[in-house]
Amino acid sequence: MYDIIGDIHGYAEPLIRLLEKLDYTEINSSWQHPERKVIFVGDYIDRGPAIRQTLQIVKAMTDSGNAIALMGNHEYNALCFHTQEREGGHLRKHLIKNIIQHYETLNSSRTGRKNMKDT
């Protein structure tokens, strides 16, 4: 049996509360359930205060076989934002609305890299 979870958007604490409500427990840095797995249906990034933590939860669960993670439109847009076109520019244009949309994710990644270097 599967639990379907989507549109987390960097809100790790509500995700943790939901996993607890669904009777998942954190064992060895991965949330697991004795009978079920999660299907994450995308939109892990943009907007929320804990994007990096959200991605760590999803990755740990998929790496341990406790979840399947699908790419959402926000992840697709982030990849396109950083993928250059052959003719120049990027697949997702660097318009102000797109920069603002991805700001929290980009900022979270920079902060995480800095913290990793400090340890």
What residue ranges do the domains of the chain occupy? 2-118
- Whole-angstrom CA distances from 78 to 27, 82, 105, 113 are 31, 7, 9, 18
C-beta separation of 34 from 53 below 8 A:
no
Residue 53 has pLDDT above 80, yes or no: yes
pLDDT band, very low/low/confident/very high, at 55 (cuts 50, 70, 90): very high
Dihedral angle sign, alpha carbons of residues 89, 91, 93, 99: negative
Select from 34, 98, 29, 89 the least CA-distant residue to 58.
29
Question: 60 pLDDT exceeds 50?
Answer: yes
Q: Is the pLDDT of residue 118 over 60?
A: no
C-alpha distances out from residue 7 to 72, 89, 115, Å: 8, 29, 26
2-118 carries CATH number 3.60.21.10 = yes
Q: List pLDDT tens digits, range 4-41.
A: 999 999 999 999 999 999 999 999 999 999 999 999 99
The residue that leads in pLDDT, 12 or 107, is: 12
